[in-house]
Structure 1
Amino acid sequence: MRCFFTVFLLSLVSSVSVAGQFREGIHYLEMDREPTVIPMVMLFHSPYCGPCAMVHDPILKLASDKGMDIKEVVVPVGKIGSDIQQGYVVAKRQNKAHVYIKALIRRIHFTKDEAPRYRKDVLDVLDDCGVDASEFETPSQCIKDEIGEHNLLVRQYRIRQTPTIIVNGNKQIILPSLKNMDELEALISELYQG
């Protein structure tokens, strides 16, 4: 799994206004899949990925502001990627997924020497976020099933890099083609409605 390069990261913070139309093959790829029955934004990400950290909050805010359905899929990257993914599923079931991901991003990208390295570190993050970690320590079948669903989506969509954003199940955004966050938000909105 690889993250997009720093140029993309820096371009997202640019304040250049959105210009021009978005075109298939340039700004997004039409996938050989049926669209989802209900419009949806799928965000495949890892808290270890710098560009994921940059787009995570703005995409969730856009979805919230515009009433869009969003499905976050935490991609298991690295030695404890599966533990981080399991922590996400446990936190989500307690309506604390956003707090959990923000805490991970802060520890990994903004706090020296606090990135989780072991399963126990993920447990500490859950505890700091007020998540009852009993299902992390002994996962129920529901937790296992949801983790299985995440991993199935990663395989079905052949996710090889993060972040990957797919709208309505069949349109994958080509992130390096966009100049800034405004364009990303406009493209997501356009594809979601179309």
Structure 2
Amino acid sequence: MRHKLTSALLLLGVSNSVLAFDEGVHYELVKQPEIENSILVFHSPYCGACSLVHKPLEKTAMSLGVDFIEVPVKFGKPLDATIQHAFVLASYEGKGSQFSRQLMKQIRRSHGRLPSDAAGVKKILEANGVNSSKLFEEQVTRDVALLNDLAKDYGINKTPSIYVSGNKRIKLGSLRSVSELNKLIKHLNHS
């Protein structure tokens, strides 16, 4: 029956990819609370794949009218904590994604070497119109701890890790392109 339905849809010009996404193959349900209308992304600015999918995921979230929730993770690089603080501070002003994009762009251009210290991270904040003087204030540090707790709760050990509605983890290895990733997100958002 499915073969006949697929053939009929192809004849009508409907893409087979609508039917191609399967639980267990392309995504899995995880035991986490549902976060309705969201795309949750755990990332590292040093991760090439994170850099590749960041802007397309933002655009997909915007086109679907869902929240784009970013969580920069700490994996042991010397500036991870500083970067998390900077992201949180930028987020207070609605510039978290902008900061992430700029940071990823600079790291990519420098082949993973920039920024080399906290002053370099502060420069990126300032370039995005964020006052870096509050970078390590107590509230920022508490909110960074919340990000780390969230990453721990989700068991994040690689990036990017992408979740639709907080409880559907995308299996990136099963996808062939960013376009396919976007189609899967749209499919999961409507299911």
Where on the TM-score scale, by shorter chain, does this alignment land: which range?
Answer: 0.7 to 0.9
Offset at residue 18 of structure 1 (A): 6.9
Query: Contact (CA 8 Å) 1:45, 1:52: kept in 2 or not?
Result: yes
Offset at residue 144 of structure 1 (A): 2.3
Cα separation, partners in 2 of 1:164 and 1:112, compared to 1, 3 Å: closer
| C-alpha separation in 1, matches of 2:121 and 2:176 | 35
Higher Rg of the two aligned structures: 2
**Residue 61 of structure 1 aligns with which residue?**
59
Offset at residue 186 of structure 1 (A): 1.0
**Residue 169 of structure 2 aligns with which residue?**
172
Two-structure CA RMSD over aligned residues (Å)? 1.8
**Residue 80 of structure 2 aligns with which residue?**
81
Identity of aligned residues (%): 33
Q: TM-score if structure 2 supplies the norm length?
A: 0.85
1:139-165 deviation per Cα after TM superposition (whole angstroms, max 9, x unaligned): 142x22321211111000000000000
| C-alpha separation in 2, matches of 1:181 and 1:113 | 22
1:120-139 correspondence runs (5 A)? 120-136=119-135, 138-139=136-137
Count of residues in correspondence between the two structures: 175
**Residue 149 of structure 2 aligns with which residue?**
152
| C-alpha separation in 2, matches of 1:112 and 1:155 | 28
Query: Contact (CA 8 Å) 1:42, 1:165: kept in 2 or not?
Result: yes
| SS of equivalent residue, structure 1 residue 65 | helix
Offset at residue 99 of structure 1 (A): 2.3
Query: Contact (CA 8 Å) 2:25, 2:171: kept in 1 or not?
Result: yes
1:101-112 correspondence runs (5 A)? 101-111=100-110
Q: Which runs of 5+ in 2 are unaligned?
A: 1-14
| SS of equivalent residue, structure 2 residue 40 | strand
Query: Contact (CA 8 Å) 2:70, 2:97: kept in 1 or not?
Result: no
Q: Aligned AA for 2:62? A: S
| SS of equivalent residue, structure 1 residue 162 | coil
Cα separation, partners in 2 of 1:113 and 1:28, compared to 1, 3 Å: closer
Offset at residue 170 of structure 1 (A): 1.3
Query: Contact (CA 8 Å) 1:96, 1:129: kept in 2 or not?
Result: yes
Offset at residue 93 of structure 1 (A): 0.7
Q: TM-score if structure 1 supplies the norm length?
A: 0.83
**Residue 9 of structure 1 aligns with which residue?**
none
1:76-95 deviation per Cα after TM superposition (whole angstroms, max 9, x unaligned): 23111010011000011112
| C-alpha separation in 2, matches of 1:118 and 1:28 | 37
Offset at residue 112 of structure 1 (A): 6.1
